[in-house]
Amino acid sequence: MNHLPQAWGRPRDDVYGQYNSAYLPSSHHGPTTHTQSPIVTGTSVIALKYSTGIVIAADNLASYGSLARFTDVHRLKPFNRKAIVGFGGDVSDMQYLTRLLKRLDTQENYADGDVAEVDSDGDEVEGEEKPHMSAKNLHAYLSKVLYKRRTDFNPLWNALLVAGLDEEDKPFLAFADLLGTTYSSPSLATGFGAHLAQPILRRVVPDEKASEKLSREDAVKAVRECMKVLFYRDARSMNEYSIAVVDREGMKLKESEKLEGQSWAFAEGIKGYGTQTV
């Protein structure tokens, strides 16, 4: 979707004419705008729910327009043991959100530490098992932040996926973007992934029931396959990516996975590029 101002409903200059700045204070040459265009951007993030957890992946590229500028950018950010956020869109806004979440995590930790948690048996729950903010809580928080910023006409130009476990340790996956739009589904993808990867993922998990039956290995296989397809077809992608699997036992994050099994054999058959005329 084209999120730039000209496309989202601002009155078109060729229809209504340009803003007449004569009516504005001399310091303003137009209306006050914060609305930006993203500068350094990350492309798609894809994720899938399986029986006991989630798989999420994003490549390690930050593009500067059409320049593949930074090739070691990790767009999957773990929050705590139970949640991970994948960011697409503007990288500086991703950094802002990462720092915001770090502050949130620190403050949540203050509250946790004050009372000794007691589980159903009356035994003290030790350190790591203390309840954390779940992925569901994290998604709610991020949605509110994003929607607030859009209402201020100063959006955080991202499309992100929040994946992990909810309060009952069931797999959780939801989307949130620069407009404040949110939705949830057994498989999700942002950017080009929504067009290219979702059909593949939906064939694997057409509905919730299918996702409850899906094994971890099959889920990881499907996601890796989609990353390969995205590299074939998304012109702003890379062959190195990060992938994370979150389940009750914990989170495994791998940050330098290379695409395997690529086939560029079709290139042999392409005719008519460059100087070739036959």
Q: 224 near 47, Cβ under 8 Å? A: no
- 102 touching another protein, by CB under 8 A: yes
Structure tokens at 104: 């949130």
Alpha helices in the chain (DSSP H): 13-16, 91-114, 135-151, 192-196, 198-204, 208-213, 216-233
CA atoms of 259 and 262, how far apart (whole Å): 7
CB of 277 to another protein, least distance (A): 43
Please say which residue, 71 or 215, places its beta carbon nearer to another protein.
Answer: 71
- 113 touching another protein, by CB under 8 A: yes
Please say which residue, 61 or 204, places its beta carbon nearer to another protein.
Answer: 61
CA atoms of 160 and 190, how far apart (whole Å): 7
Catalytic residue (choose from 32, 33, 35, 41): 35
- Stretch of 90-98, 149-157, 183-191, 230-238 lying at the interface with another protein (CB under 8 A): 90-98
Q: Of 46, 48, 73, 200, which one interacts with another protein (CB under 8 A)?
A: 73
- 99 touching another protein, by CB under 8 A: yes
- Stretch of 7-15, 26-34, 123-131, 236-244 lying at the interface with another protein (CB under 8 A): 123-131
Is 275 among the residues known to form the active site?
no
Greatest CA span in the chain, whole angstroms? 80
Is 245 in a helix, a strand, or coil?
strand
Q: Of 17, 25, 127, 272, which one interacts with another protein (CB under 8 A)?
A: 127
Please say which residue, 102 or 209, places its beta carbon nearer to another protein.
Answer: 102
List phi, psi (to 5°) of 93.
Answer: -70, -30
Please report, for residues 5, 90, 152, 180, the alpha-carbon distance to residue 146 in angstroms, rounded to integers and kept in the order given.
17, 13, 10, 5
Is the Cα torsion angle 63, 199, 215, 186 positive or negative in sign? positive
- Stretch of 31-39, 71-79, 146-154, 246-254 lying at the interface with another protein (CB under 8 A): 71-79
CA atoms of 268 and 49, how far apart (whole Å): 38
- 96 touching another protein, by CB under 8 A: yes
Rule CB under 8 A: which of 208-237 touch another protein? Answer: none
- 129 touching another protein, by CB under 8 A: no
Please say which residue, 130 or 170, places its beta carbon nearer to another protein.
Answer: 130
Please report, for residues 129, 166, 168, 251, the alpha-carbon distance to residue 248 in angstroms, rounded to integers and kept in the order given.
11, 10, 10, 8
Please say which residue, 115 or 278, places its beta carbon nearer to another protein.
Answer: 115
CB of 46 to another protein, least distance (A): 20
Structure tokens at 210: 């299918």
Element (H, E) at 229: helix 216-233
Catalytic residue numbers read: 35
Residues near another protein, by CB under 8 A:
62, 70, 72-74, 91, 94-96, 98-99, 102-103, 106-107, 109-110, 113-116, 124, 126-127
